[in-house]
Structure 1
Amino acid sequence: MSHPRRLALIAGLLYLATVVTSIPALALKAPILKDPATLASPTVRTALLGATLLEVVLAISCIGTAVALYPIARRQSEIAALGFVTSRVAEAGLVLLGVVAMASLTTVIGGETGTASAAVPGAASALVAVHDWAFLLGPGLAPAVNALLLGSVMYRSGLVPRIIPAVGLIGAPLLMASAAGTVFGLVDQVSALGGLASLPVALWEISLGLWLTVKGFRPEAVARLVDRSVEPVPVTA
């Protein structure tokens, strides 16, 4: 297997890993976000710990996609490739911030007493607020930035069929508008409207992951990038 094919396979599998970890994690932690007092139940606490584990894997996968794609993406645009790595690292950091906030709830709210003191409800609400803002700026907004950066590279280079990055480039402004609407209280992030706004970027990431896993980069596109990046050898007398 060639080096570009290995990179494509790794990136594709990691992209799919971000999907299969983020959706179950959101479902597992949703009841706790609505009512932190439910952590008094051992079953709910186990579900939250499962969600935090999935999101740790999600954060690692986010960084892994950028690292795997960088050697190829930089041949088209080093600025966009480096920006994609930076955006992915920032997204992973925000995911982990949300993980810390959720894991801290298990300390603030005891498994046996639920709400042991008057200070607990306020502390729990603060931790949920930290999670919600981290979720908005991380998984809620960063994928739009990622789509603009990596989508432009993939579209211009032709490494994958252009319809795939086109979906991401179209969806990025929609996701940004949805995130802005959430900040100003116009749109609930976890809502039908928010879900519709995030759908194109989600389709872009899923389709990119599937294509890279099954097909890899287009060989002719890789060849063009390699030829263009080769420095001419100076001729000496």
Structure 2
Amino acid sequence: MKATRRAAVVTGVFFLLTEIGAIAGMILYGPLLTGTDYIVSTGNDTNVLLGAFFEVILAISNVGTAVAVYPVVRRHNESFALGYLGARLLEAAVIVVGIISLLTVVTLKQDLAGTADADAATLVTVGRSLLAIHEWTFLFGPNFALGTATLLLATLMFTSRLVPRTIAVLGLVGGTLVSVSAIAVMFGAYEQLSTFGFLVALPVFAWEVSLAIWLILKGFSPSALAGISTPRAGTAVVAGVSR
């Protein structure tokens, strides 16, 4: 039980770190994401570097949530637990690609902007291309992959009753909305960084924060843990021994 309680606290802490990393990164990236000519401007590169640092924390914490909770949820359904781990790994990998694209803008700005060999128009075009890569990684990472991961974990929490079902329902609603929103953004219905996009993301934010606080303060339900003491459907069997 001590190990399970520790897993709950660690999972909750990682979820809070994902929110801190995502929000801080978005705020610090602001001038770069909204300015089309940042690469030839005198903008503050320190803010971008700090934003990248926080997004690295976000990527690590994403994986951390899955690794920390895996030993617990695998006993309920190993297939869904592995799916959640895989979705979080994918999300983290895509986020890292987005970080690299923005750091490349900073490097080009520092090395080439203002030099005799630099062509401002070309640099602006390259900068916009790198920003476009980040925009698409933001769509496929913290939208598609996040939506999938949220639905998998929320389903596990709902069916196992490891946390109150009201919290799990927030995850089911949030994961669905984020996934549908990603499709809408892909086809040009509205911008990712818009008021409507922010409102659509609120349920998944509420799910992660409420889940984190519950796990840190209360942990997993003891009665639910007793009911999943042995693996159920979806558990892998090797050489006749259940893992």
Question: Is TM more than 0.5 here?
Answer: yes
CA contact (8 A) 1:39 1:114 kept: no
Q: In structure 2, what residue type is equivalent to 1:13? A: V
Distance 1:114 1:79, change over 3 A: farther
Length, aligned pairs only? 230
The residue number in structure 2 matching 1:95 is 95
**1:156 shift after superposition:** 0.6
Q: In structure 2, what residue type is equivalent to 1:172? A: G
How far, CA to CA, are the matches of 2:30 and 2:19 in structure 1?
Answer: 17
* Equivalent residue runs for 1:59-208 within 5 Å: 59-110=59-110, 113=113, 116-117=118-119, 118-208=121-211
Q: Which moved more, 1:48-57 or 1:31-40?
A: 31-40
The residue number in structure 1 matching 2:219 is 216
Aligned Cα root-mean-square deviation (Å): 2.0
**1:160 shift after superposition:** 0.5
How far, CA to CA, are the matches of 2:42 and 2:162 in structure 1?
Answer: 48
CA contact (8 A) 1:159 1:218 kept: yes
**1:158 shift after superposition:** 0.7
Gaps of 5+ in 2: 238-243
CA contact (8 A) 2:39 2:123 kept: no
Deviations 1:99-122 (A, max 9, x none): 000111111112784583242111
What percentage of aligned pairs have identical amino acids? 38
Gaps of 5+ in 1: 232-237
Deviations 1:192-214 (A, max 9, x none): 11111111111111111111111
CA contact (8 A) 2:56 2:96 kept: yes
How far, CA to CA, are the matches of 1:188 and 1:26 in structure 2?
Answer: 15
Deviations 1:15-37 (A, max 9, x none): 00000111011011021012153
Question: What's the secondary structure of 2:171's corresponding residue?
Answer: helix
The residue number in structure 1 matching 2:240 is none
Q: Which moved more, 1:59-68 or 1:219-228?
A: 219-228
How far, CA to CA, are the matches of 2:172 and 2:114 in structure 1?
Answer: 46
How far, CA to CA, are the matches of 1:193 and 1:43 in structure 2?
Answer: 28
How far, CA to CA, are the matches of 1:77 and 1:228 in structure 2?
Answer: 7
How far, CA to CA, are the matches of 2:54 and 2:41 in structure 1?
Answer: 20
CA contact (8 A) 1:88 1:142 kept: yes
Question: What's the secondary structure of 1:139's corresponding residue?
Answer: helix
**1:39 shift after superposition:** 5.2
CA contact (8 A) 1:39 1:111 kept: no
How far, CA to CA, are the matches of 1:96 and 1:36 in structure 2?
Answer: 22
Greater than 3 Å deviation, 4+ residue runs:
36-43, 111-116
Deviations 1:77-125 (A, max 9, x none): 1110000000000000011011000111111112784583242111111
CA contact (8 A) 1:37 1:109 kept: no
**1:143 shift after superposition:** 1.8
Deviations 1:110-156 (A, max 9, x none): 27845832421111111001000001110122221111100010011
How far, CA to CA, are the matches of 1:36 and 1:8 in structure 2?
Answer: 43
Q: In structure 1, what residue type is equivalent to 2:53? A: L
CA contact (8 A) 2:63 2:89 kept: yes
Distance 1:77 1:99, change over 3 A: same
* TM-score, normalised via structure 1 length: 0.91
Distance 1:43 1:188, change over 3 A: closer
The residue number in structure 2 matching 1:235 is none
**1:175 shift after superposition:** 1.4
